[in-house]
Structure 1
């Protein structure tokens, strides 16, 4: 095997693509800061017991693991940053007030999440800790939509769901609670025949509600249908009201859809969940939701909600960036030349000094001007 080959679903990022990704990262982090979010940088490597706390089986299967040669304990390369940021809030910052945190960094997956997905996503996200009200969910949803708008996506679909619906349905049925993981998988796949087989020994009210969930998807009118066919349990009533409020807050900024069987992320989500979809990508480009119980293992349960997206996947959907205009200058150490180049760079100009005997060939820059010496003065001339 040639030594330059990379593992499957691992790839280098070349200059023009890297610039798109970095521009997105900077602009989004700057926008997060305008909302009051503080940047944190969790480590790439942690002990598995901390890294996977409350993260669910899916994250466990996606996590690369290795033995620490210093402690002998099992380490994990992070496959997601949400639980890491929850640990920082609960254990290190330990604030009593509402805390807004954001992050950006690479994560690593044992298997790709989709057909053409990378196993090394560049994850960026934002989280709010300390407020249990719907205001925090609405702010996170707004921030996620604003992030896609900054990237140039005007045609966005917001899919809403709620972990509380399933949990309320099975809360009083011991047989259903035992099968919670299987129910989650069947609902996620919208496997109605599988649901019928699994639920045949459940209480009638539980079974009827579970069999109705795969059909409860569509526009916001789904909420009215859900109120008609689902039992009026307090948890279900509250969940449907929260979804109605979040749908209303997104009007005018995105097409809104409801899918009460879309339970991706269910293992650690505890409330409203959402996915954002854009043309050109079959999977959600961003996902978010409420996860109030993740901090318990770190000594302090705090209300929490947030979202994240993969910058590499998002950048892949964007058109190639236009080449930036630049200035070509000769190589030299003459004080006047050095001062002229420094002054141009201080004003934001890209100045590329040509190495003697070489042509310039860049993906990102187009030299449309040149710095030349005329009558003892360095002047700019346009190139044809």
Structure 2
């Protein structure tokens, strides 16, 4: 059977046609220009490299390891990985290749590949764009990154009705340590929190040390004032818990001051990538979209795998998801055949204006360019662009 009758793309992979590709490319350029204006330096990373380099996050993020395609290098016989996330690669650059003393800021944009879709109705080959800040453990760095993420969303024109979610893994992590829970119990609790199963949480925490605090963490996860009221004095006095709680409050206050009309939600038991993140987590949502437009958080110590542990925070987004539902009709001007100086000058002038222009070839006529929107015509000796 000929391939023309059996041809299919793999599940989760799709072509991007001109009307949407133009939107995506415009978003990419505008986003990178914006990040550059904030001092974030652009880096390009290889699409494939030795799995040891890509595994700097795998020990703490098994989801990333499972999402990574692995192949054997025909030259060395070693295992290669196709990047499923660009953050480990940027961390390698910061720690091993471009060792900036002090704070370093990077941005990037490129296709990544996942073994399976990472969410409902998502692609396996996202066009990932993001920013990373290395070398500062200050809450100011987290505030900068959240503000940067929100301004990026605004730059691409999606600011109306957006919602910011803030969380901090340090609250749950410090409570687990304070209570001395086993890894198995910790995992069960994390799963219950993720499912928002309050009746199950109430029953599960009855026999736990500091069980009332674990229940309060889930019951009042979106209200810091109520949570503080219902926590025990011992937990509130715990240094690690207090540091995380204060960081979350400070971030909420400072972002609200910068974005007074923004709706900010708190969820202290939003534990996505719990073993990967080390502090504040943030995500921005738009109405009628289940998946976040962009998300990120703090992941201190990421460069340890490369011999240079550094505090770090960053976010990323999928440009395909940001551009969903947007299409742009490109202006295409068709010029007649000919080599006269006045025609060639007119063609050059149209192109200088930034318009796309196609000059007819051979026996072509205007009907041979079905996507054309305008034509270059000679009116009383003067070349003019007219709509078709």
TM-score (norm 2): 0.89
**Which of residues 162, 175, 188 is equivalent to 1:169?**
175
CA contact (8 A) 2:343 2:383 kept: no
Give yes or no for contact 1:327–1:352 (8 Å, CA) kept in 2. yes
Q: What is the deviation of 1:326?
A: 4.0
Q: CA deviation at 1:196?
A: 5.7
SS at match of 2:254: helix
- The answer on 1:111 being equivalent to 2:116 is yes
What's the C-alpha RMSD, in Å, of the aligned pairs? 2.2
Aligned to 1:36: 39
Cross-structure match for 1:12? 15
Can you give the 5+ residue segments of structure 1 that lack an aligned partner in the other structure?
none
Change (3 A) 1:383 1:305: closer
Kept in 2, the 8 Å contact 1:227–1:237? The answer is: no
CA offset digits 1:161-184 (Å, max 9, x no partner): 001111100113443345444433
**Counterpart in the other structure of 1:303:** 311
User: How many residues are aligned here?
Assistant: 373
CA offsets per residue over residues 73-94 of structure 1, 9 Å max, x none? 2111111111111111111111
Aligned match for 2:277, one of 269, 272, 280: 269
Is the Cα–Cα contact under 8 Å of residues 285 and 314 in structure 1 kept in the other structure?
yes
Match of residue 320 from structure 1: 327
Cα separation, 1, equivalents of 2:178 and 2:25: 49
Task: Give the one of 360, 364, 367 matched to 1:357.
Answer: 364
Q: Does the 8 Å CA contact 2:221/2:227 hold for their aligned counterparts?
A: no
| Structure 1 CA distance for aligned equivalents of residues 26 and 99 of structure 2 | 32
In 2 relative to 1, CA 49–111 (structure 1 residues): closer, same or farther, beyond 3 Å?
same
- Following superposition, the deviation at residue 217 of structure 1 comes to 3.5
Aligned to 2:132: 127
Tell me the SS of whatever aligns to 2:178. Answer: coil
Give secondary structure in 2 for the equivalent of 1:5. coil
1:252-291 mapped onto 2 (5 Å cutoff): 252-291=260-299
Question: Aligned partners of 1:155 and 1:149: how far apart in 2?
Answer: 11
Provide closer, same or farther for how the CA distance between residues 381 and 146 of structure 1 changes in structure 2, counting only shifts above 3 A: closer
Cα distance, 1:360 vs structure 2 = 4.6
Shift, 1:200, TM fit? 5.9
Correspondence for 1:212 = 216
Match of residue 89, structure 1, among 90, 94, 98: 94
Task: Give me the whole-angstrom Cα distance separating, in 1, the residues matched to 2:369 and 2:252.
Answer: 50
Question: What does residue 68 of structure 1 align with?
Answer: 73
The answer to whether the 8 A contact 1:142-1:250 is kept is: yes
Residues 24 and 323, structure 2, Cα contact 8 Å, conserved in 1 = yes
The 1-side partners of 2:368 and 2:121 are apart by 34
**Matching residue within 348, 351, 354 for 2:354:** 348
- Asked whether the equivalents of residues 176 and 199 of structure 1 are also in contact (C-alpha less than 8 Å), the reply is no
Name the counterpart of 2:244: 239
Return closer, same or farther for 1:50/1:171 CA change in 2, 3 Å cut-off. same
* CA offsets 1:5-54 (integer angstroms, 9 cap, x no match): 10111110000111111111100000000000000111111222220222
TM-score w.r.t. the length of structure 1 is: 0.90
Counterpart selection for 1:160 from 163, 166, 169: 166
Q: Does the aligned pair in 2 maintain the 1:37–1:100 contact within 8 Å? A: yes
Structure 1 position 214, deviation (Å): 2.4
Cα contact 2:86–2:112 (8 A) shared by 1:
yes
Q: How does 1:324-335 map to 2 (within 5 A)?
A: 324-335=330-341
1:225 Cα offset (Å): 1.4
Cα distance in structure 2, aligned partners of 1:65 and 1:381: 53
Change (3 A) 1:182 1:41: farther
